[in-house]
A = this chain, B = another copy of it.
Amino acid sequence: MRKGLLLMAVFAGFVVAKEKIDDKELLKMARQYFKPLPKVAENPQNPVTPEKVKLGKMLYYDPRLSKSGLISCNTCHNLARYGVDNLPTSIGHRWAIGPRNAPTVYNAAIHIAQFWDGRAKDVEEQALGPIVNPIEMANTEENAVKTLKSIPEYVELFKKAFPNEKDPVKYENIGKAIGAFERTLMTPSRFDEFLKGNTKALTEQEKRGLKTFIEVGCVACHNGPGVGGNMFAKFGMITEYWKVTYPYVLVGKPAIKVDFGRFGVTKKEEDMFVFKVPSLRNIEHTYPYFHDGSVWSLEDAVRIMAKTQLGKELTDQQVKDIVAFLKALTGKIPKHALEVPELPPSTDKTPKPEL
């Protein structure tokens, strides 16, 4: 890489030396690691059609998929708040407090697998989990299907979304419809503009942050179109993670148990404390951070990463630059995600909510 001209900048009485970024070099380097987001995250097994997306969005927003009639996907993945609940760990049925932080649903469809431990293969499979999870929506498959079958508008929408099926209102198709909706939840950002060649899309500081992010080694794990989301890695490559995050855990809260991560799925020793590398898109908005939601500040999260994953101490300037770059990953929420559909009324046949 050609070393750029050193610029001497005088700030508030002290002198900082900054390297001028070579835009072309940086773009070339960045393109080795990253790609712009797709418009839609296609799945050949579940083609995205307008009919499925329409139905999926209604199901996403409908609290009647839960036992109580109160909790919808949007309760924990609030699309108006970048697809998260901004709680350390989520609250579900009867105020059950779960063990993990809710990741965003925006861009989740492009991940290598779903959940922090990757236990679901795609968004279609994933969506079937929370509906019957006793500490989330606490429903049963039968009751969810019975509810939808009792509402003529839904029966019609399932027929349209799955036109070649005899009995389209079935549990699996709930996952397919919600999955199709989620496949449209892509949030392109200024970083995508940059990757497409518009080097003016990022500020100098953001470019410096991108360069640091690459050179320090973050890209070893956070790469691809999601800037993460496409591999697994141990949380605590260099230092056990809980030793580093412990001081950040909110005082007075019940101690958070150490989470074995992917070991719980594969039972292989090498998967102990291994988690899916999270996508860093919209990370500015998806606080608190890490699978246990233990850390509220993005700067702290960046410092912790450098320490636990790379054994490095970053300078204040490096942290600030990286954070500026990460904030440039904040994307545009697609308009249709926030246009909430009217939900059809229940009927006499609809199972009653159970509190």
Interface residues of chain A, those whose CB is within 8 Å of chain B, are 61, 63-64, 68-70, 75, 78-82, 85-88, 91, 94-95, 97, 250, 284-285, 287, 296-297, 333, 338-343, 345-346, 348, 352-353, 355
Residues on B with C-beta less than 8 A from A345 are: 82, 284-285, 287
Give the Cβ gap from A77 to chain B, nearest Cβ, in Å.
Answer: 12
Measured in the bound complex, the distance between the Cα atoms of B80 and A342 in whole Å is 5
Residues on B with C-beta less than 8 A from A296 are: 348, 352
Measured in the bound complex, the distance between the Cα atoms of B79 and A343 in whole Å is 9
* Contact of B75 with A87 in the complex, beta carbons under 8 Å: no
Measured in the bound complex, the distance between the Cα atoms of B66 and A91 in whole Å is 14
Given A85-B70, A86-B69, CB of A80 within 8 Å of CB of B355: no
Copies held by the complex: 2
Residues on B with C-beta less than 8 A from A63 are: 78, 81, 85
* Contact of A340 with B70 in the complex, beta carbons under 8 Å: no
Chain A to chain B: the 5 pairs with minimum beta-carbon distance, closest first: A95-B95, A338-B340, A80-B340, A80-B343, A94-B95
Q: Which residue of B lies closest to A94 (CB)?
A: B95
Residues on B with C-beta less than 8 A from A87 are: 68-70, 353, 355
Residues on B with C-beta less than 8 A from A80 are: 61, 340-343
* Contact of A339 with B338 in the complex, beta carbons under 8 Å: yes
Given A340-B80, A340-B340, A352-B296, CB of A346 within 8 Å of CB of B68: no
Q: Which residue of B lies closest to A95 (CB)?
A: B95
Give the Cβ gap from A131 to chain B, nearest Cβ, in Å.
Answer: 18
* Contact of B81 with A343 in the complex, beta carbons under 8 Å: yes
Give the Cβ gap from A293 to chain B, nearest Cβ, in Å.
Answer: 10
* Contact of B333 with A91 in the complex, beta carbons under 8 Å: no
Measured in the bound complex, the distance between the Cα atoms of B205 and A28 in whole Å is 72
Apart from A95-B95, A287-B346, A338-B340, list 13 A-B contacts with CB within 8 A.
Answer: A63-B85, A64-B86, A69-B87, A78-B343, A81-B343, A82-B345, A87-B353, A97-B355, A250-B352, A285-B345, A296-B352, A338-B339, A338-B341
Residues on B with C-beta less than 8 A from A91 are: 68, 70, 355
Measured in the bound complex, the distance between the Cα atoms of B68 and A296 in whole Å is 16
Residues on B with C-beta less than 8 A from A250 are: 352
Given A86-B69, A87-B69, CB of A342 within 8 Å of CB of B352: no
Give the Cβ gap from A194 to chain B, nearest Cβ, in Å.
Answer: 22
Residues on B with C-beta less than 8 A from A64 are: 86
